[in-house]
Amino acid sequence: MELYLVILVILIVLAVTDLIVGVSNDAVNFLNSAIGSKAAPRWIILTVASAGILMGTTFSTGMMEVARKGIFNPESFLLPEIMIIFLAVMITDVLLLDLFNTFGLPTSTTVSIVFELLGAAVAMAIIKIMHSAETILDLYHYINSEKALLIISGILLSIVISFSVGAIVQFITRMIFTFDYEKRLKKYGAIWGAFALTGITFFILIKGAKHSSFMSKEIVTWISVNTWNILIYGTIIWGVILQILLSFTRINILKIIILVGTFALALAFAANDLVNFIGVPLAGLTSYNLGVNATGNPMEMLMTELTKPVQTSTLLLLLAGLIMALTLFFSKKANSVTKTEINLSRQGEGFERFESSLLARKLVRGTMFFGRGIEIIVPEKVRTAIKGRFKNSQANIKTADGDESSFDLIRASVNLMVASILISFATSLKLPLSTTYVTFMVAMGTSLSDKAWGRESAVYRITGVITVVGGWFFTAISAFTGAAIIAFLLYFGEMYAIVLMSLLVVYLLVKTQIFHKNKELEDDNLIAEEVTTELGALVSSMKKSKKLITSIKETIVESLSALSEEDIDKLSKLKKEIKNQKKILNQNNVSIIDLIKLQGHDNTKQERRYGKLIASLQMLQKNSSNIWLSSFSHIDNNHKTPDLALMSDLKEIVAKLSSRIKIAAELLTNVEVKDCDLFDNASKEFDETMKQFDKKQIQRMKESSGSTRNNFLFLDLFSYLENISHHLNQLVVLYCKNYNHLK
């Protein structure tokens, strides 16, 4: 039993790790509406969510049986086999969820644990079949495949229903309240809030508390029988309370709805999803204890006892809840996952995390075509009325403290109300909807209705949604495959495999933590600094421009080097750097636009300089990209490498230009007017040098030296380098002039 004691210890360590990585991903379900709307200070939101988690953990004891017998039939497996299944599941779960957290993508912990159990159990069942007279057709004796099919159907249902209902309810709500909702809230707020809070509290009863150890069968039955009474009287009671608050206090009832909804979703998460993190280790503990107390040979004991009901210690559940609550406050990866959804659903424009994709472009184009058709059918008066209700949809949303939020309190409360009602309704009908999928898709649907996805951002937001949804299916496939492979390795590798896999988990967790930290620093450098003065905003823009031109210098040097070496792989790797340049460029353009907004009304000259700055930055990046693309196409088409004379001239030009870029980068860090003037004068000398190279190339062409393709390539590259030099000079001069003016 020593080996299985080692496995048990590893399972317990993995349980703690899984609690951390699990709540880091699922925090997006219950935090985003409150954080995105800034309904309260962050510490209050996290405290409310933590209270919901701690209470929810005491309701989760009945769900622990899912890990023991919900996916496979434990009576068909021996103790050694069941322990390997559990270890394979936990290793896969920790690695998979940590991977999603590292890239800031929300996924379903329920789907991951179900398919990991399924994958590991299938692998172990195949091993058993291989060592017996059974065939693959006997697999159904070991597996409860019906559960997996329910989960898959739940994914599809969640996506379609949640997005559609969220969009419809948000449209109706916005038509009632508009974006200037304060006055209308006093008229209709109590009624609307009563419906919202009734839906949320009913959600707590149906989705959360029904698994509580102190909820008897009689109470659960009473709730089911008296559903309509609960809804009707709940609406009346909440309506009276909210009307009193609106009439006699200055309390914002939307903030109450949002905080109650946050508590409700956190409670439901802990009540239903805690099994995803500690259910398997607890089942492993039970299995080990059964083996220790067995009267016969424990290695030959079938795990029939796992089919019986289990009661988990309340103290243990609260300890798990405490770990999850602390994770909310301290996990950086939880912040990354939260940022992804908020970024995709925010009302205003700005830096887009995702690039556009072909599918997103097709969807947007198709939707625009469909919208034009609707406009023809809908009378003009109706269209004008609707347009009036959505006036100021792209205006910056300010909180009472003057901070800018990602979306307003109306949308946040709709997100929580709709998600709560959908999940509780589906649960009452025993439909398999995922909490993660519902909350995410409701948020996306309300964003669409609120016109948050304008023509400037739609393709990028939709690409983000496609990426997240695609990740959900990737979760199921990866969880199944990964757990199955690890189960095979553990079974045949025994102690060696257990030690190696444990070390691999530690290594990968450390590596992803370092990767995430570096990625976070990189993203922080791209995100606009909160500056209130024009000079501060200008300095921030100069830092980003320095980063951009430094990247451009590296791209040019590496592209020419790869061209001379005919190294297609080297050029392929540079594609990532080109994409990074576009991100820096886009964010810097946003910064410069913010700079223009900080201008007074009599600064037309400066505003024109900022417009030219944007143009120069765009041309610098575009020409850098063209140099890479021309070099790549030349090698990819297997054309001859330019001869030594051409390459020698190109390398000399690039060396001189690189030197100028380096000086420009230093100037953007430490602006000195005299140095700016020297840089401007030196540009004329560089232009003269370029003219000499141009004449030399024309002479070569007259003498029919070199192939036509190589001559064309040289002229293209020469033109791009010349453009970079011109716009680099303009960039530095414009920054210097505005900086000097503001100083």
671 vs 601, which has greater pLDDT? Answer: 671
Q: What is the mean pLDDT of the chain?
A: 79
* Residue 340: both structure tokens together: 């992804």
Domains along the chain? 2-178+267-347+405-522 (no CATH), 532-742 (1.20.58.220)
Render the burial of 609-642: b for 16+ CB within 10 Å, e for the rest. Answer: bbeebeebbebbbbbbbbbbbbbbebbeeeeeeb
**Shortest CA distance to 586 belongs to which of 553, 558, 547?**
547
Grade residue 397 by pLDDT with cuts at 50, 70 and 90.
low
Torsion sign (Cα): 470, 471, 474, 475? negative
- The top-scoring range by mean pLDDT among 39-43, 87-91, 389-393, 595-599 is 87-91
The residue-averaged pLDDT of 456-480 equals 83
Give whichever of 202-216, 468-482, 697-711 has the largest mean pLDDT.
Answer: 468-482
Give the rounded distance of the alpha carbon of 619 from its chain centre: 31
DSSP code, position 353: S
CA 487 to chain centre: 30
**At residue 399, does pLDDT exceed 60?**
no
- Measured distance between the N- and C-terminal CA atoms of the chain, rounded to whole angstroms: 76
Name 72's bridge partners: 143
How are the residues of the chain apportioned to helix, strand and coil, as percentages rounded to the nearest 5?
80, 0, 15
**Could you give the CA distance from residue 602 to residue 607 in angstroms, rounded to a whole number?**
9
Give the three-state DSSP class for 143.
strand
Model confidence at 609: pLDDT above 50:
yes
DSSP 390-440: TTTTTSPEE-TTS-EESS-HHHHHHHHHHHHHHHHHHHHTT----HHHHHH
Token pair listed for 135: 């065939």
Pick the closest to residue 287 from 311, 304, 265 (CA basis). 304
Name the β-bridge partners of 302. Answer: 78
Task: Give Rg (Cα) of the chain.
Answer: 31
403 pLDDT tier (thresholds 50, 70, 90): low
Task: Give SS3 for 655.
Answer: helix
Is it the case that residue 433 has pLDDT exceeding 70? no
Region 512-541: what's the mean pLDDT?
Answer: 67
The pair of three-digit structure tokens given for residue 375, joined into one six-digit string: 């406009």
- What pLDDT score was predicted for residue 485? 93
Mean pLDDT across the stretch 105-116? 81
Which position has the token pair 């088409």? 637
pLDDT of residue 481: 92
Average the pLDDT over 304-324 and give the result: 76
Show the tokens assigned to 641. Answer: 């490498």
pLDDT value at 658 more than 80? yes
According to the model, what pLDDT value does residue 528 have?
47
Between CA 266 and CA 47 the distance in angstroms is: 11
φ, ψ for residue 214, nearest 5 deg: -95, 5
72 SS3 class? strand
Cα–Cα distances in angstroms (integers) from residue 252 to residues 40, 93, 186, 409, in the given order: 11, 41, 10, 10
Q: What is the pLDDT of residue 486?
A: 92
Q: How far is CA 512 from the centre of its chain?
A: 16
pLDDT digits (tens, 9 = 90+) for 479-525: 899 999 999 999 898 888 888 988 988 888 888 888 777 766 665 55
Q: Is 637 helix (H, G, I), strand (E, B) or coil?
A: coil
**How confident is the model over 616-628, as pLDDT tens digits?**
888 998 999 999 9
**pLDDT of residue 601 exceeding 60:** no
The pLDDT > 90 percentage for the chain reads: 3
| Chain centre distance of CA 411 | 20
Q: What is the pLDDT of residues 675-689, one digit of tens each?
A: 777 777 777 777 777
Q: Which carries the bigger pLDDT value, residue 303 or residue 382?
A: 382
Q: What is the pLDDT of residues 10-53, one digit of tens each?
A: 888 888 888 888 787 777 677 888 888 888 888 898 899 888 88
Per-residue H/E/C for 110-122: HHHHHHHHHHHHH
458-526 vs 2-37: helix crossing angle, rounded to 10: 110
Q: For position 532, what pLDDT does the model report? A: 58
3-state secondary structure of 78: strand
> What is the largest distance, in Å, between two alpha-carbon atoms of the chain?
99
CA distance 142 to 124: 9
Q: Which residue has the tokens 């109590």?
A: 190
* Residue 601 and residue 572 in contact, taking contact as beta carbons nearer than 8 Å: no
Tokens of 308: 């019986």
What is the DSSP track for 277-310?
Answer: IIIHHHHHHHHHHHHHT-SS-GGG-B-GGGGS--
Band of residue 604 on the pLDDT scale cut at 50, 70, 90: low
Q: Other CB atoms closer than 10 Å to residue 367's CB: what's the count? A: 14
pLDDT one-digit tens code per residue, 322-377: 888 888 888 777 777 777 777 777 776 666 767 777 877 888 788 777 777 777 88
Q: Is the pLDDT of residue 395 over 70?
A: no
- In sequence order, the 6+-apart residues with CB closer than 8 A to the CB of 451 are 390, 393, 394
**Cα–Cα distance, 630 to 563 (Å, whole number):** 10
Taking the whole predicted model, whether its pTM rises above 0.95 is answered as: no
pLDDT at residue number 22? 78
For the segment 695-724, the average pLDDT, to the nearest whole number, is 78
Phi, psi for residue 616 in degrees, rounded to 5 = -65, -45
**3 state SS of 253:** helix
